[in-house]
Structure 1
Amino acid sequence: MRRKLIVALIAAALLITVLAVSLAQQAPKPECQTVMVPMRDGVRLAAAVYLPPGVSGPVGAVLTRTPYGKGGFTGDAAAVNRAGYAFVAQDMRGRYASEGEDTLFLTDAGGELQDGYDTIEWIAAQDWCNGNVGTRGGSAMGITQYMALCSAPPHLRCAHVSVAAPSIYHYAGYYGGVFRQAMVTGWLTGHRFRPENLQLVLDNPSYNDMWRIVDLSNYADRVTVPVIHRGGWFDCFGGGTVYAYRLLQEHGGDGARGNQFLIMGPTTHGRSNVEALAFPNEDKPPFTAEADFYHWNLRGADVDTNALPRVYYYVMGAVGEDGAPGNVWRTAADWPPAYNATRLYLGADGTAATTVPAQGALSYEYDPRNPVPTVGGANLLLARGSMDQRRAEERSDVLIFNTPVLAGPVEITGPLSAVLYVSSDCPDTDFTVKLTDVYPDGRSMLIADGIRRARYRNSFETPEFMEPGEVCRVEVDVWNTSIILNAGHRLRVAVSSSNAPRFSANPNTGGPDDSGDQKRVANNTIHLGGEHASHVLLPVVEGDL
């Protein structure tokens, strides 16, 4: 597995290099000046400053903060300079030419040290800047933007965030209280962060004061700027993208509330695996105002943006079926669009239906030494995208529930979740939920999936262990999607207790995941029908399940 992670990291690095070279060949290399920018604690962070040639007087500036080396942004600098703005790329604290120690974004947000704030205010004070600063970037460079928003720099005017996590705990380090093993371990070790960073994540499995500092939800009312939030249904931070949009659209301060933009495609964090479905025009949203976004906010252009749709989203459809509905981009005034909240109940006979079934239960053994393997999905370093799940579904520790064959198309667009009534003979275990589109030829193509640790069923702050045989309610967040299931297809729900190595395998003991040989086989039960009617909650826009 370590070898696969290294290969994936090398491939990603090669792709970034190719893209950077391609961008650099399209424009003359801009002139750069390296400056050491002082932070409030005296530590200096290295920044590459690119000023637009031939422009007199102060101009607006665009900032990117990165852990990958500020020298890789000459293409971005050239594009921003051509638009008439200064561009600044900065190495994060403790990375490359910057001083200090790298600390998992903890010095970038709302804590005592606020490197994003200090950098933005330093830029605004330079004689070549007109006092208006915007930010841009994706992935880690998007996370630094969300963290900067936490500290509300007075001269920040806008942000363009792609594929990023607004909460390091909920959308990066953990999902449903479960450690995102492959992504976090692979990223931190592959990019040679200090080993203490990984240990810091592992030592803090519950949501606590450390995580609150790097969680935008605790600072939403401070944010006063418009933000473009861009993500994908299969992106490893996709749930966070939608969450950040809704958070600031509904609870942001003046200037932010009602002034957010969301773009969601059927995309992953990079290129999908070759086995994954490829959706037509997946990277061509009808949002054409990206360049104008900075003009409005950094030049003070008098533009009425009220007529612009706030949401641009891709509705997936059957791939390879002529005339299948979907596979199109749409716009909406907000997210989610109107839908009918529909409960799909799981039955002991393996059915999934909108009527409550007879009371029953299904059980399986979950062995952490032999977890269900990860097959595609919202990954960073593992194979990603909508992949066929049959190799996982054929296992005895995976419960399968199918709808009848659909008589007509059914559109599902909006937030997804599941409510499971569960019991176990162990004090702690995990529960996973997958939704798949079952094609007439039998392929079971992933739509979305999620996980929840039983000890965090009521609170991510205070763990509560299960009593043997106790029936507990566990809610699983399955993030969001938009898809039209074609006639002749089925919707499938798969329930289990592991998805490794995407998520660490719960040892079922109540102890830490890395507990060595201290593991137990869990006898887990899903209760169905009656007063314990486990179900999936679906946002049905049109059609009947």
Structure 2
Amino acid sequence: MKVFKIVRVLFFISFFSFAQNEDYVKENYNKTETTITMRDGIKLFTVIYAPKDTSKEYPILLQRTPYSCQPYGEDAFRTKIAPNEFLMKEGNIVVYQDVRGRWMSEGVYDNMRAYIPNKKGKQIDEASDTYDSIDWLVKNIPNNNGNVGIWGISYPGFYATYSLLDSHPALKAVSPQASIGDFFFDDFHHNGAYLLSYWRVTPLFGHEKTQPTAKPWFNFPDLGTEDQYQFFLDAGPLSNLDAYYKEDNVFWQQLKDHPNYDDFWKSRGIIQHLKNVKPAVMFVGGFFDAEDLYGPFNSYQAVEKNSSNYNTIVFGPWSHGDWARNSERQSIGNVYFGDSISHTYQKNIETTFFNNFLKNNTQVTVKLPEAYMFDTGLNQWEQYEQWPPKNTEKKSYFLQNNQRLNTHAEKSFTFEEFVSDPKKPVPYSEDIKMVFTPRKYMTDDQRFAARRPDVLVFETPILTEDITMAGPILAKLKVSTTGTDADWVVKVIDVFPSDAADFPETQAYLKMDNYFMMVRSEVMRGRFRNSFSIPEAFIPNEKTAVSIKLQDVNHTFKKGHKIQVQVQSTWFPLIDLNPQTFVPNIFEAKATDFKKQTHRVYNDSSIEFTVLKKK
């Protein structure tokens, strides 16, 4: 399996596509490769694309990446640069940099390197590397206007967020996009549950290189099958996966050694440090991003709470990084949302943001809304003065027997129960493929799951009016189990009417007639119900509260549709299997620890939605 092919598929961040002449960059830009020396003497490899027209000054747009700023060689040009085609063709100095310890840069890579407040002497972190880089760029690149912007998607989005800490005075505008906020809650874990779908790309983060290199120094394992579900089911306990990753894979060892939210993970979080931010910020995300929903929402809220800078947020009907592509039809899996949505974002939102602060003497000439959010039920953009919007209220729906989802609680207490068998886990998708962090499942049809005996279904009657949910969702479950541990998965679903028309994107074996579109979903590893740092066993058969925060939505459930909630305990192999027997470290669980258990969900369980008030 070719490493470069996988990197391009998984991390298109540096190779996003937009329509253009493939020779445009070479015809209009000069390329320079250099190194910038950091305060501790380490040299970071940096590529500079400067407009050939030197009759005026330009802002600098910088992206710092662990995924390579290739192609290497001053005669080898990218076919596209900058965040989008408009910013490229307007003329900007565009800079890419391999972060410390990656590819052609010197130093030791540290995954999600911890921030050091009040650094002294030659102490370094990603904030100091960014500061030192910007300082060199504005002093050494001809024809720059002294204003710098930073952008990045996914891991480069994390470095963009990091630039807000101890920021250089020249840094005026930053757009973290699909930005990682905390690796324990983004990407590799969700509420303490290990995302098994990420296991395959662990080498990308785990192997350390010893010297600058333009070639990969890691390999992805060849699993010998495209059936992801069967591969991981046959593999058994996580400890059996050691056969693929040895001690030289540093990150795999770290994952196993730190199963709880301990100081190792806490120190690598960035959100808690987002205070007194100076540059203008625009957080960007996709409502159907299977990888990074936690980071953009929580980072935006932290800046909003703790800073007085210009701070805005944009969420569209996208999966991971789709806004950097230019698809004529925007769809996620089977569901179509509209035409040229990314093009509109790039031209009217992203370009406007950077031009406001980099080309207009940092004065806002075109005001963007505080929150520019796409309604994924009505398929239209909405503008709000804040996020979540002011005119919302909390509305609870209770999980009743006979598959009912009601807005009132019942006096008699009953329960629904199911048997959770680790040998026959509920799949997250019907698709048979080996993929890293699958994207389309975020809107997939959930009828296949609803028809399983180990998935509970609760549903409203057909809606007689539109209901718009705009903000976070909180599941307040009351549960019990015959075991001592369990995972709890909650899915919020839009049930389409029986006359819904198919889209060209609809898979051949499906119909949009009565389609169960997943709108939001999340898992909670039950042992972390009270603390992510100190896991607790369940007492068998004892009714216990488990709350699950689902990330925000902006979705209208239209008249004629139904709101559905599904509850289950396995979601495989998106997340790893819980043994359902409490063990100190699930990464060390033995095959004998995995037990079939009976779970109950009581009818005083509820789902609290943030609902937009009627005008």
- Do the structures match in fold with TM over 0.5? yes
Aligned match for 1:375, one of 426, 429, 434: 429
2:140 is aligned to 127
Alignment of 1:331 onto 2:390: no
Greater CA deviation, 115-124 or 265-274? 265-274
Aligned match for 2:255, one of 188, 198, 201: 201
Task: Report if the CA contact (8 A) 2:317-2:337 is conserved.
Answer: yes
Greater CA deviation, 327-336 or 21-30? 21-30
Q: CA RMSD in A?
A: 3.2
- The 5 A counterparts of 1:444-455 are 444-455=516-527
State the alpha-carbon separation in 1 of the partners of residues 86 and 393 from structure 2: 44
Aligned match for 1:298, one of 358, 370, 373: 358
Q: State the shift of 1:455 in Å.
A: 1.4
Aligned match for 1:251, one of 281, 306, 312: 306
State the alpha-carbon separation in 1 of the partners of residues 518 and 177 from structure 2: 23
Task: Report if the CA contact (8 A) 2:487-2:526 is conserved.
Answer: yes
Q: Percent identity?
A: 24
Task: Report if the CA contact (8 A) 1:109-1:147 is conserved.
Answer: no
Task: Report if the CA contact (8 A) 1:273-1:385 is conserved.
Answer: no
State the alpha-carbon separation in 2 of the partners of residues 172 and 107 from structure 1: 17
Q: Secondary structure of 2:160's partner?
A: helix
Deviations 1:490-520 (A, max 9, x none): 1110001121222112122233334241333
2:373 is aligned to 313
State the alpha-carbon separation in 2 of the partners of residues 534 and 447 from structure 1: 20
Instruction: Check 1:383–1:328 CA distance in 2 against 1; reply closer, same or farther (3 A cut).
Output: closer
State the alpha-carbon separation in 2 of the partners of residues 374 and 193 from structure 1: 29
Alignment of 1:52 onto 2:51: yes
Q: State the shift of 1:275 in Å.
A: 4.2
TM-score, normalisation: structure 2: 0.77
Q: State the shift of 1:135 in Å.
A: 0.4
1:179 is aligned to 194
State the alpha-carbon separation in 2 of the partners of residues 340 and 291 from structure 1: 34
Q: Secondary structure of 1:75's partner?
A: coil
State the alpha-carbon separation in 2 of the partners of residues 55 and 420 from structure 1: 63
Q: Which amino acid aligns with 1:167?
A: D
Alignment of 1:363 onto 2:424: no
Task: Report if the CA contact (8 A) 1:150-1:216 is conserved.
Answer: no
Alignment of 1:146 onto 2:146: no
Q: State the shift of 1:209 in Å.
A: 2.3
Q: State the shift of 1:274 in Å.
A: 7.2
Alignment of 1:266 onto 2:317: yes
Q: State the shift of 1:476 in Å.
A: 0.8
Alignment of 1:276 onto 2:327: no
Greater CA deviation, 51-60 or 407-416? 51-60
1:471 is aligned to 543
Greater CA deviation, 447-456 or 113-122? 113-122
Q: Between Structure 1 and Structure 2, how many residues are aligned?
A: 524
Task: Report if the CA contact (8 A) 1:6-1:190 is conserved.
Answer: no
Deviations 1:193-240 (A, max 9, x none): 452123223322222222233322221214222111111110121232
Q: State the shift of 1:115 in Å.
A: 3.1
Alignment of 1:491 onto 2:542: no
Aligned match for 1:226, one of 280, 297, 305: 280
1:97 is aligned to 104
State the alpha-carbon separation in 1 of the partners of residues 257 and 167 from structure 2: 29
Task: Report if the CA contact (8 A) 1:92-1:98 is conserved.
Answer: yes
Q: State the shift of 1:190 in Å.
A: 5.9
Instruction: Check 1:130–1:327 CA distance in 2 against 1; reply closer, same or farther (3 A cut).
Output: closer
Task: Report if the CA contact (8 A) 1:70-1:91 is conserved.
Answer: yes
- The 5 A counterparts of 1:345-494 are 345-357=398-410, 358-375=412-429, 380-381=437-438, 383-441=440-498, 442-494=514-566
Q: State the shift of 1:20 in Å.
A: 7.9
Aligned match for 2:296, one of 241, 260, 269: 241
1:320 is aligned to none
Deviations 1:50-88 (A, max 9, x none): 233333687532210112211255621596565454222
1:25 is aligned to 23
Gaps of 5+ in 2: 72-77, 209-248, 323-329, 499-513
- The 5 A counterparts of 1:508-519 are 508-511=580-583, 512-514=585-587, 515-519=589-593
Q: Secondary structure of 2:158's partner?
A: helix
Q: Secondary structure of 2:550's partner?
A: strand
Task: Report if the CA contact (8 A) 1:346-1:534 is conserved.
Answer: yes
Q: Secondary structure of 1:76's partner?
A: coil
State the alpha-carbon separation in 1 of the partners of residues 95 and 7 from structure 2: 26
1:66 is aligned to 65
State the alpha-carbon separation in 1 of the partners of residues 491 and 452 from structure 2: 14
State the alpha-carbon separation in 2 of the partners of residues 193 and 22 from structure 1: 36
1:521 is aligned to 595
Q: Which amino acid aligns with 2:23?
A: Q
Instruction: Check 1:82–1:388 CA distance in 2 against 1; reply closer, same or farther (3 A cut).
Output: closer
Q: State the shift of 1:363 in Å.
A: 1.8
State the alpha-carbon separation in 1 of the partners of residues 287 and 488 from structure 2: 21
Greater CA deviation, 196-205 or 267-276? 267-276
Greater CA deviation, 514-523 or 468-477? 514-523
State the alpha-carbon separation in 2 of the partners of residues 309 and 79 from structure 1: 21
Deviations 1:243-293 (A, max 9, x none): 2222211222x4x2xx21111111111568874211114435568243343
Deviations 1:125-154 (A, max 9, x none): 423355532201212211211233245445
TM-score, normalisation: structure 1: 0.86
State the alpha-carbon separation in 1 of the partners of residues 321 and 368 from structure 2: 28
Q: Secondary structure of 1:28's partner?
A: helix
Instruction: Check 1:193–1:32 CA distance in 2 against 1; reply closer, same or farther (3 A cut).
Output: farther
State the alpha-carbon separation in 1 of the partners of residues 380 and 175 from structure 2: 24
State the alpha-carbon separation in 1 of the partners of residues 5 and 595 from structure 2: 33
Q: Which amino acid aligns with 2:270?
A: L
